[in-house]
Amino acid sequence: MFVLAIALAILVCTLVGMTSTMTGGKAVKLTNDSTANFFSAWSPDGEKIAFISYRSGNFDVWVMDSDGNNKLQLTNKGVPDNPKWNPDGTRIAFSWNRSGNFDVWVMDSDGSNQVPLTTSPAVDLFSSWSPDGTKIVFTSNRTGNKDIWVMDSDGSNKVQLTTSFAEDFGPAWDPSGNKLAFVSTRSGTWDIWVMDCDGSNKTQLTTNEGDELFQTWSPDGTRIAFILVRSGNRDILVMDSDGSNKVQLTTNVSFFAYPAWSPDGKKIAFSASIDWADTMDDIWVMNSDNSEKVQLTTGKGGDLNPQWNPDGKKIAYTSEGNIYVITVEEEITPATTATPSGDGGNGGAPVTTPTPTTTSTPSPAGRIPGFEAITAISALLVVVYIVKLKRWIKNKRR
């Protein structure tokens, strides 16, 4: 699962004791412990952040204020994945293997009223809420291979949208709620496709040599950013929503490079290792027209998964097993094109740590559910992560 790959990268950074150096704004450390904290997701009003943490001795969903205070544990069993707020901020949907296999669950934003929306013996993985919050799209292998399904937000009216013998996954709603972009192997490689939200009018958007994935819509729905994996490199491209006018924004990026549009659509944040000799990622921001690039973090902490807050002034990310927030300047100037470097200390902007108030629910005693599986998978991922194989890149998305 994607959560395991992210958790592994964070745990590796934590164990080697690397330090994140901040530039480009004031960075605030929101969590401050030696366990893994990752997968930050801003609430729609920007007041809270949901995240996954191992601080209770189990991977659980937590929520905290945007300044790091008032941490609240929401789950206490199994391994959750990919928590996301609904558009009005009252509920959180996520994948959870509480019953033994992964299903789609929802709960109120305070952790109450936890309800499974799928109960199939197959693997059902939550992807995203529709823009109006009335539907949820997810990936399931209940038919024997990965397909895309949609259901009402209460779990009713499940509809299978793809029926190909290929693997279809990673659906993302466009801002209007009328279309879904997804990744499919039906053409022989990993390509980006788009379809109407009822499953009709499937259209292939990419045909490059290599694999395209991690697609994300611009806030106005006119463009799609995505990752092209080719010859061991991962680069960010943008294209019009019909697949035309493809433009490559980065060159020879290794490791992670997940693009995240700013709320106004003018900038794209991403985490990347630009220099192949540098094995850890940094957070970068570029204008979406490729006019400027700025490196926000310059340390060796493995800075991952940038997420814009709703007003576009801050970015949350994970480094060394903790969650940080860094401010972003309004204008991206001057351009920064040098390869990442760091002095191993806090030579950039000051890093502050708030004094948090933590409330937790009791975690179950005894053996950690699924821990053996996580350990085994992590051991395999370590090897593949080091050699940067394409298979690892694909398995992360699955």
- What angle, 0 to 180 degrees and rounded to 10, lies between the N-to-C axes of helices 390-397 and 2-16? 120
Q: Look up residue 1 and give its amino acid.
A: M
267 pLDDT above the threshold of 70: yes
**pLDDT for the residue numbered 24:** 55
Band the pLDDT of 329: cuts 50, 70, 90: confident
If you average pLDDT over residues 249-268, what whole number do you get?
Answer: 85
353 pLDDT above the threshold of 80: no
What are the tens digits of pLDDT across the range 216-228?
999 999 999 999 9
- How many residues does the structure list for the chain? 398
Spatial contact of 277 and 252, defined as CB atoms under 8 Å apart: no
In this structure, what are the phi and psi dihedrals at residue 137, rounded to the nearest 5 degrees?
-105, 140
Structure tokens at 270: 């991403």
What are the tens digits of pLDDT across the range 81-133?
999 999 999 999 999 998 888 999 999 999 999 999 999 899 999 999 999 99
Cβ-based burial of 367 (10 A; exposed 0-12, middle 13-18, buried ≥19) = exposed
- Residues 236 and 240: their CA atoms lie apart, in Å, by 14
State percent of the chain over pLDDT 90.
Answer: 57
Spatial contact of 89 and 362, defined as CB atoms under 8 Å apart: no
Q: What is the CATH number of the domain that holds 8?
A: 2.120.10.30
Number of domains in the chain: 1
Band the pLDDT of 358: cuts 50, 70, 90: very low
Q: Look up residue 171 and give its amino acid.
A: P
Q: Which residue has the tokens 């939550």?
A: 126
394 pLDDT above the threshold of 80: no
77 pLDDT above the threshold of 70: yes
**pLDDT for the residue numbered 332:** 55
DSSP string, 351-384: EE-----EE-PPPPPSSPTTHHHHHHHHHHHHHH
Q: How much is the pTM?
A: 0.80
**pLDDT for the residue numbered 99:** 81
pLDDT: is 61 or 391 the higher one? 61
160 pLDDT above the threshold of 70: yes
**Distances 389 to 320, 347, 381, 384, 385 between C-alpha atoms, Å:** 23, 33, 10, 6, 7
**Domain range holding 303?**
2-397
In this structure, what are the phi and psi dihedrals at residue 317, rounded to the nearest 5 degrees?
-155, 170
Give every CB contact of residue 247 below 8 A, 6+ residues apart in sequence.
237, 238, 239, 290
339 pLDDT above the threshold of 50: no
Spatial contact of 388 and 9, defined as CB atoms under 8 Å apart: no
**pLDDT for the residue numbered 298:** 78
DSSP 243: S
If you average pLDDT over residues 173-177, what whole number do you get?
Answer: 97
What are the tens digits of pLDDT across the range 5-55?
444 444 444 433 333 333 457 789 999 888 899 989 999 999 999 999 999
C-alpha closest to that of 303 among 1, 9, 5, 8 = 9
Tabulate helix, strand, coil % of the chain (nearest 5): 10, 40, 50
- Residue 103, helix vs strand vs coil: strand
DSSP string, 268-316: EEEEEB-STT--S-EEEEEETTSS-EEE-B-SSS--EEEEE-TTSSEEE
349 pLDDT above the threshold of 50: no
- Residues 111 and 234: their CA atoms lie apart, in Å, by 37
Spatial contact of 229 and 245, defined as CB atoms under 8 Å apart: no
pLDDT: is 247 or 253 the higher one? 247
If you average pLDDT over residues 223-236, what whole number do you get?
Answer: 89
Half-sphere exposure of 67 (CA within 13 A, CB side): 6
- Residues 290 and 279: their CA atoms lie apart, in Å, by 25
**pLDDT for the residue numbered 279:** 59
Q: How far apart are the first and last CA of the chain?
A: 6
Give every CB contact of residue 330 below 8 A, 6+ residues apart in sequence.
none
Q: What is the mean pLDDT of the chain?
A: 80
